[in-house]
Amino acid sequence: MAEESILEIVIVFISGIGGAAFMSLFLRLINDYFSHGVRVPLILGQVVHHYFNGKPFYRLRHKNKYGQIIHLSVGILFAYCYTWLWSRGIGGPTALDTFVFGLVNGLVGMIGWFAFLQLTYEPEQVNKKIFFPIIIIAHLVFAFGVTCIYFSLWYVINISS
C-alpha cells in the first residue's frame, strides 16, 4: 500500500471521529434544553442492551461504550463517503458544499434512524418530533467537522512537506 493511501485512511479515520465528536458535543448542548431523545450513543447502547443482554460477549457496564463505538464507526463510514465523493470532484471545502453534504447526510441519517427504530427496539425517551429534526441539524455540524478536519490535515501535511 502506498504511503499516501495509508495517510488517506488515517485522515479519514480522524475526520470521521472528529466530525462525530463535534456532533456529539452539539447534541450534548441540545440535551441541556430537551429532556427526550437526542442522546444518540445512549440510545444505541440501549438498543444493544435490548438485543444482547445475557449473551456471553455482552457486559452491561460497557453498554454506553458500545453505543459510542457504533456512533463513531458510522461517523468514519460517512467520512469515507465524503472523501470518496471529493476524490471524484463532487463537492469540496466550501460552505455550500458542506451544507449540502450535511443536509443529505442528515436526511440519510433520519431515514436510517426511522427504519432502525421501526425494525428494532425504540427506547422510551425517543420523542420523534424532536429527535428527527435535531438529527438533520446535527449532521450539518458533523459535515462541518469532517470537512474542516479533513482539509486542514491535508493542508498541514502539504505545507510541511
Smallest CA-to-CA distance from 123 within 133, 112, 131, 111 is with 131
pLDDT at 76: 97
Give the residue-averaged pLDDT of 40-67.
75
Q: 101-112: per-residue pLDDT in tens? A: 999 999 999 998
pLDDT band, residue 36 (cuts 50/70/90): low
Task: Give this prediction's pTM.
Answer: 0.88
The whole-angstrom separation of Cα 40 and Cα 32 is: 14
DSSP one-letter string for 56-85: TT--GGGHHHHHHHHHHHHHHHHHHHHHHH
Residue 46 pLDDT > 90:
no
Amino acid at 90: I
Sequence spans of domains, the chain: 3-160
Could you tell me what percent of the chain has a pLDDT over 70?
91
Residue 1 pLDDT > 70:
no
Q: How far is CA 66 from the centre of its chain?
A: 14
Minimum mean pLDDT range among 12-16, 24-28, 102-106: 24-28
Q: Report whether 16 contacts 77 (CB < 8 A).
A: yes
pLDDT band, residue 43 (cuts 50/70/90): confident
